[in-house]
Structure 1
Amino acid sequence: MEILYRTFIVFIAGYLFLKLTGKKAVSQMHSFDLLYIFVLTNIISTPVEVNDLGKALTYAGITVILYKILIRLSLHNKLRWILYERPTVLIHNGDIDRQGLKKVRMPMNELLSHLRVQGYTDTQNIAIAVMEETGSISVIPKSEYRPVQPNDLQLKVKKEYLPIPLIMDGQILDQNLKYLQLDREWLMNEVGKMGEKIKQITLATYLENGKIFIDNNKTTDHQHDPYYYKPGKEY
């Protein structure tokens, strides 16, 4: 029971410390952020093996405070370049920067792989490709190779509408109903008109025209239609 108790306390404490830190440290991490996570993990896991629960949680709290202070200091540009890596140019105006690749220790085939993932097959079409501080690669194509925008064709487009989820995995999202100034009775009536049951609905969203779109758990057998082939499925 003591081991279970200590493990539970450590788990909850670690969760609270990460919540206090903020989601920045657990999204795309810089090397500094990653070091913080390693240190914090090592500290809060210590009480599972030794009788030092209070001291370990104190050290963890100090680590969180220190990290928050350093993050605040990193908002100043001069200190930011000390704490974090600078972006590295890998391709500039269609030319591969071999020094940049050498600096980030990236072989050519890996660079080409990153470009393909973002939909680019020819390095000559790239205006600039940069490895950011987080290790992700940003790619900006040359103007003549970028996707055509409505503004290029002088077209006026309507404002983008984001469908609002009302039901997820059979559970009603009351906060979204409240935002729309609707209630459960209205939702149940709409779902009933479509012959559906709440528990069988994977996703229901409120559309721009005031109607509901429903995706349920039912699947349609398309009788081996090639257009509906599912990779990985055994037939």
Structure 2
Amino acid sequence: MNLETIYRTFIVFIAGYLFLRVTGKKAVSQMHTFDLLYIFVLTNIISTPVEVSNVGKAILYGAITVILYKIFIRLSLHNKLRWILYESPTVLIRNGDIDRKGLKKARMPVNELLSHLRVKGYTDTRNIALAVMEGTGSISVIPKSKYRPVQPNDLNISVKKEYIPIPLIMDGQIIYHNLKYLKLEQGWLMNEVKKMGEKVENIILATFLDNGKLFIDNNEIINHRKDPYYYKPGEDN
């Protein structure tokens, strides 16, 4: 490994970062600039031996790219450097008013902003306290307090602790480590399946509920033909 190899890889990495930074957050939606650049560069390096028979050089450049990526990620953990390496969030709506400067900076037309709000379940900009384009290009929306969903705490209602059903059978296969976690025997599971008139291989999903019972979703779909509540788009109706 010589100095020129490291230098050339570093220059490519920095140049790519600057190009993506200039392009804007919309182009790197759901990913930070560094992450996207890392994938682009590494993919290109790995695919090089397909065109040029020089596997050793490709592996060397790939290793340098990984090291550079790790260094930049480590630097981004420091608050002062983070604001230099990553783009700051861009305000698009503040207290019900659209921020024109924010839209211009994000290169986003109003109709696209409205479509993002609809995806989040909001149709009126006046109901939004804050809408922000994050560094990853995703849109965060915080509604005004009177337009947000009602929380149990607002009504002084106490709710039970959230429980995530634990899969015991998936795609016709028993999840043995979950059985072990619950300290249940396979015999118990097979007995429950038998009581419901099912076979393990026909079960798409079976979960252990908080009440200690087994819920089974099999492969059978009940025929709801002509029922408007079960309309299915297409020509299969």
**TM-score, normalised by the number of residues in structure 2:** 0.85
After superposition, residues 14-29 of structure 1 pair within 5 angstroms as 28-29=30-31
CA 1:182–1:135 in structure 2 vs 1: closer, same or farther (change >3 Å)? same
Aligned to 1:65: 67
Aligned residues: 209
- Of 57-66 and 36-45, the range deviating more from structure 2: 57-66
- Match in the other structure for 1:227: 229
Q: Percent identity?
A: 78
Write the deviation string for residues 23-43 of structure 1: whole angstroms up to 9, x where unpaired: xxxx93112211111000000
Q: How does 1:172-191 map to 2 (within 5 A)?
A: 172-191=174-193
Letter in 2 for 1:137: I
TM-superposition CA deviations, 1:88-108 (whole Å, max 9, x none): 000000010000000010000
Q: Is the 8 A contact 2:34 2:69 kept in 1?
A: no
What 5-or-longer segments of structure 1 have no aligned partner? 1-26
Which position in structure 2 is the counterpart of 1:145?
147
Secondary structure in 2 aligned to 1:205?
strand
Residue 211, structure 1, aligned to residue 210, structure 2: no
Partner of 2:156: 154
Q: What's the counterpart of residue 42 of structure 1?
A: 44
Matches within 5 A, 1:90-101: 90-101=92-103
1:163 aligns with: 165
Residue deviations 1:140-171 (CA, integer Å, cap 9, x gap): 00111111111111111111111001111111
Q: What displacement does 1:58 show? A: 2.1
1:4-58 deviations in Å (ceiling 9; x for gaps): xxxxxxxxxxxxxxxxxxxxxxx93112211111000000111122221122112
Question: Which of 88, 91, 94 is residue 89 of structure 1 equivalent to?
Answer: 91
Deviation at 1:232, TM superposition (A): 2.7
CA distance in 1, matches of 2:77, 2:185: 44
Match of 1:200 among 199, 202, 206: 202
> Residue type of the partner of 2:81?
L
Structure 1 runs of 4+ with >6 Å offset? none
Q: Is 1:111 matched with 2:93?
A: no
Partner Cα distance (2:225, 2:86) in 1? 55
Amino acid at match of 2:156: Q
Letter in 1 for 2:100: R
| Alpha-carbon distance in structure 1 between the residues aligned to 2:177 and 2:235 | 37
**How far is the alpha carbon of 1:189 from its aligned partner?**
1.4
Taking structure 1 as the reference length, the TM-score comes to 0.86
Equivalent pair of 2:170/2:203 in contact (CA under 8 Å): yes
Q: Alignment RMSD, CA only?
A: 1.3
Once the two structures are TM-superposed, the CA of residue 190 in structure 1 deviates from its matched residue by: 1.1
Tell me the secondary structure at the aligned position of residue 225 of structure 2. coil
Greater relative CO, 1 or 2 (CA 8 Å, sep 6+): 2
Query: Aligned residue for 1:24?
Result: none
Q: What secondary structure, in the 3-state scheme, does the structure 2 residue paired with 1:151 have? A: helix
Pairwise CA distance, 1:175: 1.4
Give, in whole Å, the separation in 2 of the partners of 1:28 and 1:101. 18
SS in 1 for 2:91: strand
